[in-house]
Amino acid sequence: MSQTMSSSVLRSPGDPYQVVDNFTVLKQLGAGAMGEVFLARESLTNRTVALKLMAAKYSKDEQYRKRFEREIHVVAQLEHPNVAGYAGHGEWNGRPYLAVEYIPGATLSDFIRGGKRLEEDLALAIAIQIAQGLNYAHQRCDLIHRDIKPGNLLADLHGAKQFTDEATIKIIDFGLARARAAHDSLNYDLGSGGTEVGIEDAGERFQTIDQQELAALGQQANGGLTLAGQVMGTPNYMSPEQCRGENELTFSSDLYALGATLFHLITGRAPFIARTPGMVIVAHITEPAPDPGAIIRTLRPATRELIIRAMGKQPKDRHRSYELFIAAAVGARKLLHMGQAQRAAPPAPAQRRMSGEDFQGMIEEVASDLPQGRQLSGADALREISTRMIRRNQPTSGLHRRSQEPPDQQAAQPPTPRFAIPRPEEQPAKPDQAPVKPANKTSSFFRKLLKPPGG
């Protein structure tokens, strides 16, 4: 990884590009109140990076510089496929900058803008990747992102035209993150200050919400609302404890934001809709998690349960680890795939019981296939008919089940046909009748049916 670089900016005569240390700025990618983001190329490796430069008006503000430095420390510790990788940092004209890997794609908010939504399977695949990145960051340095939302999740489509589950999701913007440095026990945090809430907007603006406004909304909503301190994040996705400004947040707060993000991806709208950010914050604290299945009627129960549990009001109501969330999401995808496979499978051929006409036709077919002059006994005829019915996938209706068994079982335990017609010699004689004389030929019924042609 690159180390902190000395400040040096060069401009060649007639060259439209600026050189910031080892990075050549190619074009601007975006701008907001906090700063600008440029596409740049690193001279040593020739790789393209995204260079985030703090706005000049904040460069001398100690609070904002501290936040920017914290983001640098956090990003420099992380190396994971689902986290935007560190590429270097430094300072240019008194303005700190951070370079991270450039992801040629769009944020998830671009894919759901205007009420659009993603298919259930794709949304689940995305949620799994986000959880994997967050789990790594939490295990690596106890990181709490505090601003998980569609706008901070980049989708690398790898050149594909369609957004599929082959895309790689990258977590970006660790400006509000809290983490323990890998080399010591320092806790990089912003410190105390006003109540500041990030409002997801066309630009990355930060608006200040008055504590008195939140307290007044809380009085209206639930007879009182306690705010512990600083509230930072994006209202649409913040956990109840983050909305209350609690300092001791856990990974469960990010898990709630992930659940709220998944809710938005699947339904096309944020979990709570209100006129002001303050009212949204109060809703997160006081109202139960909305049911995504009430909006998307075709949503699978497992996916619905995944979102509702992730958005539990108390941390103890949510998944107890990212691993459990991932396992539940993977299971929901498997159930979804099974249901899709069953719907896509061709219908099984309809089976019907053999009618009298079908049975008569089968008897005539057996008779016609016999060699000239040969006749079958009743039991042999039924056995032959049963065999042909099985070959044609017709239900035998219990006429004869012996031929359905493996040959070794047939030899070991020859079952008695359930509806086999006994031979004449096997029929018991009635008391008032003379014993039936044994016959070597079939009964008159089958003799007529199986009578050879022309006989």
- Catalytic residue numbers? 147
Are the beta carbons of 5 and 77 closer than 8 angstroms? no
DSSP state, 338?
Answer: H
C-alpha span between 380 and 364 (Å, rounded): 14
DSSP state, 205?
Answer: E
C-alpha span between 389 and 399 (Å, rounded): 10
Nearest to 389 by CA among 401, 405, 377: 401
Q: What is the DSSP string of 78-119?
A: ---TTBPPEEEEEEETTEEEEEEE---SEEHHHHSGGG----
Residues 6+ apart with CB under 8 A from 193: 63, 230
Q: Please give the structure tokens belonging to residue 45.
A: 């490796």
Nearest to 261 by CA among 358, 370, 371, 128: 128
- Give the β-pairing of 153-156 and 168-171: antiparallel
